[in-house]
Amino acid sequence: MAVDPKGFLKIKRVSSRYRKVKERLQDYKQVFVLREDDESKEQGLRCMDCGTPFCHWGCPLGNYIPEWNQLMAEGLWEKAFILLGATNNMPEITGRICPATCEYACVLGINDEAVTIRENELAIVEYAFKQGWIKPRKPVRRTDKKVAVIGSGPAGIATADQLNKAGHSVTVFEKYDKIGGIMRYGIPDFKLEKWILDRRIDILRKEGIKFVTGVNVGKDYPSAKIIKDFDAVCFCGGSRTPRDLKIEGRDLKGIYFALDYLIDTNKVISGEKRNYSIDAKDKNVVVIGGGDTGSDCVGLANRQGAKNVVQIELLPKPHKERTENYPWPVYPVILKTSSSHEEGCKRYWSVLTKSFAGKSSKLTKLSCVKVRFNNDKTSKRPVIEEIPGSEFEIESDLAILAVGFLHPEHKGLISDLGLKLDKKGNIETDGEYMSSHPGIFAAGDAHSGQSLVVKAISEGRKAAHYIDRYLMGKSILPLL
């Protein structure tokens, strides 16, 4: 296909198509349908090859977006994949679950719909898998250095992959039974089927990375021993301490953290041993928290046969379009309707949960009130004000708390080694991702706080660069 410099003027955006709601609610399989190759090539033509491509700025990985868009449009899929793989260790993951911050920075998006960057990325990597271009490639040489990576989420996998490419012997420790961290246990199959994750892990294992599961470093593997056994350690354990609602009735049965609900359901699907038994069938479900995690919980509840699903959010309802507070090219706070919302859900904004109530120690309802936000004249910060007379109740047998995370779990390696923490409780590091303990590094949510998978991958790559330099005096790994 010849590249048309005016393609963006002639071709309209075509986003992913979804399976019918009635069909997809019967299973946990991927909700969207992959595009045909020719359609992806045509969508690649919409990229304007800008003189200053802000999509690079919008992507934490600095992906070569205009370049691989053009190569794909020309049918040069292998060259497109080489560029894609140069900056992203798991494009088949980000191509499915990334919120596409790059698209909100797309220059075309100023006066038209942005390029389908995420779908194009996914098209390229899946084409590469189909053609057999993605296969194990062991390092040409091995160093005598050993590195331990704690946690197998996106930051841990990216760190391990990069360090293995540099020739170091890498061991990844995961406390759960399977590798993948938040990607496996915190994301529903209808967004990310786990065979996709297994496909990548199998390649990394064949490339020489050692994966050890069912081991909680600091408990099953003493912290002092891991420092002795390895030349460097990178903590990528994520931000696993959930934010709680410490209000009246919190101790009632039927109230769970979102991650516990997600982990439980993912274990049911994979046939693993469960820690809980959380089922929404025939229940009135209330999801507290309006973010992506809350949306995922809505999708699970619908698939389990919930009687009714309500999602409430403390913040005001966002605008459908950008406002002056979020000018292009910054990532805007706008109203998002996910595939889970389309499957059935009542949504309420500006709602504060005041208390839980129940009978016989079991949850039966939530007491809520409508709120508004006013700016404090002194601090100039928003202050929550309850609206008099707006109190109301919501019937609920099952409440899911999806109100975010505070910091990594401190018990274990972090407390054992006395690692210095920042004011938010995350692992504090210097500019080269090293903690207060020499040879101990940190990356991902454990270091920067709860964020995106794509940012975690970026941090893992950067940490790997500095770990390599720490071990060898200089690094052959890129910073991006």
pLDDT in tens, 325-344: 999 999 999 999 999 999 99
Give me the mean pLDDT over the 253-282 stretch. 93
Give me the mean pLDDT over the 402-422 stretch. 97
Distance between CA 80 and CA 226 in Å, rounded? 40
Q: Which of 226, 147, 273, 270 is nearest to 414 (CA)?
A: 226
In this prediction, residue 377 carries a pLDDT of 73
3-state secondary structure at position 320: coil
Mean pLDDT of the chain: 96
Reported as a single tens digit per residue, the pLDDT across 64-106 is 999 999 999 999 999 999 999 999 999 999 999 999 999 999 9
Homologous superfamily of 244-403: FAD/NAD(P)-binding domain (3.50.50.60)
Domain boundaries in the chain? 7-131, 146-240+406-472, 244-403
Q: Is the pLDDT of residue 1 over 90?
A: no
Q: Is 473 left (phi over 0), alpha (psi -120 to 50) or beta?
A: left
Residue with tokens 């990607």: 183
Reported as a single tens digit per residue, the pLDDT across 174-200 is 999 999 999 999 999 999 999 999 999
Tokens linked to 451: 């964020």
Tokens linked to 449: 């706080």
Q: What is the CATH number of domain 146-240+406-472?
A: 3.50.50.60
The one-letter amino acid code at 42 reads: E
What is the residue-wise DSSP string for 103-161? HHT-GGGGTSPPP-HHHHHHHHHHHHHHHT-------SS--S-EEEEE--SHHHHHHHH
Distance between CA 204 and CA 189 in Å, rounded? 22
Element (H, E) at 81: helix 77-87
Tokens linked to 169: 């012997």
In this prediction, residue 22 carries a pLDDT of 96
Confidence grade of residue 46 (pLDDT, cut at 50, 70, 90): very high
Give the number of residues written for the chain. 480
Domain 7-131 matches domain 146-240+406-472 at the CATH topology level: no
Pairing state between β 398-401 and 284-288: parallel
Note the helical H segments in 208-273: 223-229, 258-270
Q: Which of 449, 86, 453 is nearest to 240 (CA)?
A: 449
Burial class (CB in 10 A: 0-12, 13-18, 19+), 337: exposed
**In the CATH hierarchy, which top-level class contains the domain 7-131?**
mainly alpha
Tokens linked to 447: 């270091």
Q: Which of 4, 115, 20, 101 is nearest to 58 (CA)?
A: 101
In this prediction, residue 2 carries a pLDDT of 58
Q: Is 195 left (phi over 0), alpha (psi -120 to 50) or beta?
A: alpha
Element (H, E) at 185: helix 182-185
Reported as a single tens digit per residue, the pLDDT across 123-173 is 999 999 999 999 999 999 999 999 999 999 999 999 999 999 999 999 999
Q: Is 286 left (phi over 0), alpha (psi -120 to 50) or beta?
A: beta
Q: Which of 414, 92, 102 is nearest to 239 (CA)?
A: 414
109 and 26 in contact (C-beta within 8 Å)?
no
In this prediction, residue 58 carries a pLDDT of 94
Give me the mean pLDDT over the 398-414 stretch. 97
In this prediction, residue 277 carries a pLDDT of 87
Question: In 254-390, which ranges are E strands?
Answer: 255-257, 284-288, 308-312, 346-348, 351-359, 362-375, 382-386
Note the helical H segments in 304-387: 339-342
CA distances from 403 to 46, 289, 306 (A): 38, 5, 21
Q: Which of 373, 369, 321, 392 is nearest to 110 (CA)?
A: 321
Distance between CA 114 and CA 121 in Å, rounded? 14
Phi, psi of 308 (to 5 degrees): -155, 140
